[in-house]
Amino acid sequence: MAAETMRHGDWDPLAAIHETDPSAEHARLRGQCPVAHTERFGGFWTLSRYEDVVAAARDTDLFASRYKTTIPDSTGPTRPPRPPLESDPPEHRQYRDLLNKYFSPQRIRAIEPAIRRIARDLLGSAVAAGRAEVVESVAYPLPAQVLCTFLGIPTADAAGIKEMANAVLAAGTQGDAARHSQANDRLYAYVEALVERRRQQPLTPETDVTTGLLTGEINGRLLSNDEVVAVLRLLLQAGHGTTTNGIGSVIAFLASHPEEQRHLRENPDAIPTAIEEILRVWSPARLLARTATRDVDLHGRTIPAGDKVALMWSSANRDATVFDDADRCVIDRRPNRHVAFGHGIHTCLGAPLARAELRIVVEELFALTDEIVLDGEPVQAGWPHIGLSALPIRFTPATGHRTLDYGSDLRSGERITVVSEVRDVADRVVELTLADPGGSALPRWEPGAHIELRLPTGLARQYSLCGNPEESDTWTIAVLREDDSRGGSAFVHEMIKAGDSLTVAGPKNHFPLVDADRYLFVAGGIGVTPMLTMARRVLDRRRPFEFHYIGKQRTSMAYADTVAELPAARLHESAVSGRPDLLAVIAAQPPGTAVYSCGPESLLSELEESCRVAGQELHVEWFSPKPGANVGGDGALESFRVQLERSDVQVTVLPGQSIIDACAEAGVVIPGSCFEGTCGSCETRVIDGTPDHRDSVLDQSQREEGQVMMPCVSRSCTEALTLDA
């Protein structure tokens, strides 16, 4: 170890023994070598004591930021510095003045509903599964999705932004200059395309960061294109990575400290203070660098002018001369002068947003669970992070749902039901029978209708009713345990028992059975549930029909015996005989045949093409977004105004922002569930304007009529929409 350290200077930040947990090495440096030099990354100095770090952060004349602040340089030698972080007075203040309004308390409060929805969706899926690796499932995607919402860019871009930013860091740490340059080129190309879109279609500069930069001034002049790109490049790198680290550290602490977890559950007002202390002990941003503008003599060492100097926030935050019991996390520590977000004029611009994300994650986690515990050993991340790359957690879902409650928490259209029976009807398919707790009749429904289960994890999932519509004392649904479950089917299979109470919304019917002379039903897998009720209704009406039921093998096909008893029914086991020739089946149908199908995307896509070729109209119900559904139509606008008639509120919808989220920011809640345009729960009446339909629910005639829309995904083809909300 000594030889390895000497080879790299006073210390080696990448030494395996302390790269992922540098606390012991930092303690050594604070005690023995407070101004340390390493040859790593081209050589740099490290200040490890709190007083030195704070003093350097304050002295912007001696320790400059304009020569870049990351180690290694995250943008590369050919790219300009990224203000405001990589700028100095007096320009720095002007950049901050341009940006501060976007991080104001009012702005953060405005986007809190969107942050909360993202958190609840990700956490709900994890909790419903019972156990999860939460870095991958929550901490990794959440900050990037929030950043996209904040910047008004599509949340669908979040995963790509995260991947590009991580590729930059990984290549830089590994010293792979070619790969580092390629990763940066990709990220800069994305930013430049964003800037060009805003030039062509500017938004309101008071709320849109990119438009604000394009119209803002520094020293009495507009920012250059390079300056605008540089600021946004900074936000796309720094606006999510450290928050990922923070979320992982916070959840890991809670899971491994049951007493502190219990205290915070019972005293939620203490959550922000606890978060600050966790950030102190596990500082998400390990360091930022400055450049010495002249020779600096400190603690017997001379830092030459022009050398890089790392301000080691993570070491300063454990300095025992400042913090009592510095290595222990004391969740009610006050005062807490930590520097996890930096110090001085360069204190993290995005700190208010990061703090809101961390608080909301903890609040939502506590709302969805009774307890969380470690489900294995956490894996520490390496340079430049202090955080986790893997965190297995086991959840105890909130158990309040098992107590029947007729209280006023129910929203319009919701009711409490009791699970009267649970039984297996095929491999990985369970049937639930629901009844009114008091024995009253349930609302009547027609074939094709569905209900929505509001699970205690915060998830809402839609399932087709598959019993007898004439029986009003019970409802029946069947749920397939999906291999890639987002938490809903996993929760139903693992947690729901006879006697449990469930909140249910509906029934609704976006898949009605039309009147026709003849019918063809094609069911794929669990898509048999609405098809079976339709076939029974058609049989009662004495209309001719064919029924094709496709599944992998008979044991996995729910209600296979029931379907087999229908006249003109055929079961196709694809593992045995393959799929039927759907084009031939469609082509054999006489004119006037109504073709109905429900099943996986591959089946529905094949049927759509077959019906197109044969000139037959297809009625379908999609489980997931229809391919290409979320692509804007001709004349679609990315930013537009929405007038909410009943609420007397007008909102501006930004690019990448859904109408639902824009309304939530203004305090108007449009109930939604899937947020991907498949369930129809957010259906809203259109009073004026032309929607750009991007859902998978409305048929072509409904789209052309334009009387309703799904605001979770759809947008506008006119400058303004007026909605009945």
Q: Are strands 308-311 and 44-47 parallel, antiparallel or unpaired?
A: parallel
As a whole number, mean pLDDT of residues 654-667 equals 83
pLDDT confidence of residue 8: 59
Question: Model confidence over 339-354: pLDDT tens digits?
Answer: 999 999 999 999 999 9
Tell me, what's the pLDDT at 454?
85
pLDDT exceeds cutoff 60 at 403? no
DSSP states of 102-155: GGSHHHHHHHHHHHHHHHHHHHHHHHHTSEEEHIIIIITHHHHHHHHHHHTS-G
pLDDT value for 7: 45
Q: Which of 7, 50, 43, 9 is nearest to 27 (CA)?
A: 50
User: Contact 283/22 with Cβ under 8 angstroms?
Assistant: no
The verdict on domain 90-397 having CATH code 3.20.20.70 is no
Whether 545 contacts 570, CB under 8 Å: no
**What is the mean pLDDT of the segment spanning 61-88?**
96
Whether the Cβ atoms of residue 715 and residue 659 lie closer than 8 Å to each other: yes
Contact 331, 264 (CB under 8 A): yes
What is the C-alpha to C-alpha distance for residues 37 and 300, in angstroms, rounded to an integer? 13
For 667-700, write each residue's pLDDT tens digit.
888 877 777 888 887 899 999 999 999 998 888 8
Which of the four pLDDT bands, split at 50, 70 and 90, describes residue 406?
Answer: very low
From the list 345, 378, 452, the residue with the least C-alpha distance to 673 is 452
Residue 407 has pLDDT above 50, yes or no: no
Residue 332 has pLDDT above 50, yes or no: yes
Q: Is the pLDDT of residue 507 over 50?
A: yes
pLDDT at 194 > cutoff 60: yes
Q: What is the share, in percent, of the chain residues with pLDDT greater than 90?
A: 75
If pLDDT is split at 50, 70 and 90, which confidence band does 410 have? low
In this structure, how many other beta carbons lie within 10 angstroms of the beta carbon of residue 211? 21
**Quick one: DSSP state of residue 426?**
E
pLDDT of the residue at 162? 96
Q: In what order do the strands lie in the sheet with 131-133?
A: 131-133, 392-397, 369-374
Question: Between these two residues, 657 and 411, which has the higher pLDDT value?
Answer: 657
Whether residue 84 is preceded by a cis peptide bond, meaning omega within 30 degrees of 0, is yes
pLDDT of 158 reads 95
pLDDT digits (tens, 9 = 90+) for 473-504: 999 999 999 876 666 788 888 889 999 999 99
Single out the residue of 266, 480, 233 nearest to residue 370, CA to CA: 266
pLDDT at residue 136 tops 50: yes
The order of strands in the sheet holding 545-551 is 569-573, 545-551, 518-524, 593-599, 618-622
What is the CATH architecture assignment of 403-508? Beta Barrel (2.40)
Per-residue tokens: 540? 């009662």
The per-residue pLDDT for range 520-569, each reduced to its tens digit, is 999 999 999 999 999 999 999 999 999 999 999 999 999 999 999 999 99
Residues 6+ apart with CB under 8 A from 106: none
Task: Look up tokens 């669908």; give the residue.
Answer: 156
Please provide the CATH number assigned to the domain covering 519-621: 3.40.50.80
Q: Which tokens hold the place of 395?
A: 């959840």
Nearest to 548 by CA among 528, 529, 576: 528
Q: Are 183 and 630 in contact (CB under 8 A)?
A: no
- Residue 412: which pLDDT band, with cuts at 50, 70 and 90? low
Question: What's the confidence (pLDDT) of residue 669?
Answer: 82
pLDDT at residue 275, as a whole number:
97
Instruction: Give the integer Cα–Cα distance in Å for 70 and 55.
Output: 19
Nearest CA to 158 out of 182, 180, 127, 190 is that of 190
Return the half-sphere exposure (C-beta side, CA atoms, 13 A cut-off) of residue 499.
Answer: 2
Query: The domain at 640-723 falls in which architecture?
Result: Roll (3.10)
Q: Where are the beta strands (DSSP E) in 359-482?
A: 369-374, 379-380, 388-390, 392-397, 414-426, 429-435, 450-454, 460-464, 474-480
User: What would the pLDDT profile of 203-245 be if each residue is shown by its tens digit?
Assistant: 889 889 999 999 999 989 999 999 999 999 999 999 899 999 9
Instruction: Tell me the whole-structure pTM to 2 decimals.
Output: 0.78
Q: Where are the domains of the chain?
A: 90-397, 403-508, 519-621, 640-723
Match 């158990």 to its residue by tokens: 399
pLDDT tens digits, 266-299: 999 999 999 999 999 999 999 999 999 999 999 9
Specify the DSSP class assigned to residue 327. Answer: T
What's the mean pLDDT when you consider all of the chain? 91
**Over 60: is that where the pLDDT of 666 sits?**
yes
H helix count then E strand count, the chain: 24, 32
Give 222's strand partners.
217
pLDDT of residue 701: 85
Q: What does the pLDDT read at residue 156?
A: 87
